[in-house]
Structure 1
Amino acid sequence: MRLSDAPKGAQAVVQSVTDAHPADPIAQRLRDLGFVAGEPVRLVARGPLGGDPLLIHIGSTRFALRRNEADRIDVTLEHAA
């Protein structure tokens, strides 16, 4: 599932960041910021009417991402025990 499609408040784990085209600088920047395989991530909030930006919590940091940026991040939802 894409991070942009995750429900608000969802806990997930990053699987990969997909390049939209060869040498995609946005995908590389996301990886540099810590969006790497195995990293826990949470969708904290969405912008007005479910749009941009998306507030993402990863590690000890929060990022505001555009929907098209979050579309590059593949995640697996964690299921509550």
Structure 2
Amino acid sequence: MKSQRHPHHSKSPAITLDKLPVRAVATIQDIKTGHHDGGALKRRLMELGFVPGERVQVLRRIFFGRGPLAVRVGTSTFAMRKLESSLIEVVLA
């Protein structure tokens, strides 16, 4: 079985979800730990389905990129602040 988390097998470099273009489909590579919360935000994101190997897509940026993102992971859609989306590393699918 091929590892989904191995960056050497990806064709494009990892970026954070907040930088992903609208409508582009990507695969989650890693979730970084927030420096201020001891990993609570990372655990919460993973509980919601933001796990390595899962497909993710930014559906739209609200308020011209200054507000939250509408993000689809699996079959669920979430509104995410830049703080959360900047912790999620993705590679274009």
Q: Do both share a fold (TM > 0.5)? A: yes
Give the Cα separation in 2 of the matches to 1:32 and 1:59: 13
SS in structure 2 of the partner of residue 14 of structure 1: strand
How far, CA to CA, are the matches of 2:75 and 2:39 in structure 1? 26
Segments of 5+ residues of structure 2 without an aligned counterpart are 1-14
**Residue deviations 1:5-56, cap 9 Å, x none?**
0011110000010002262211110011111110000000001121221000
Q: Which residue of 1 aligns with 2:12?
A: none
- Bigger relative contact order, structure 1 or 2 (CA pairs below 8 A, ≥6 apart): 1
Match of 2:92 in 1: 77
Identity of aligned residues (%): 35
Separation in structure 2 between the aligned mates of residue 16 and residue 36 of structure 1, nearest angstrom = 7
Ranges of 4+ aligned residues in structure 1 off by more than 4 Å: none
Runs (5+) with no aligned partner, structure 1 = none
Cα root mean square deviation, aligned? 1.1
Report how many residues are paired: 78
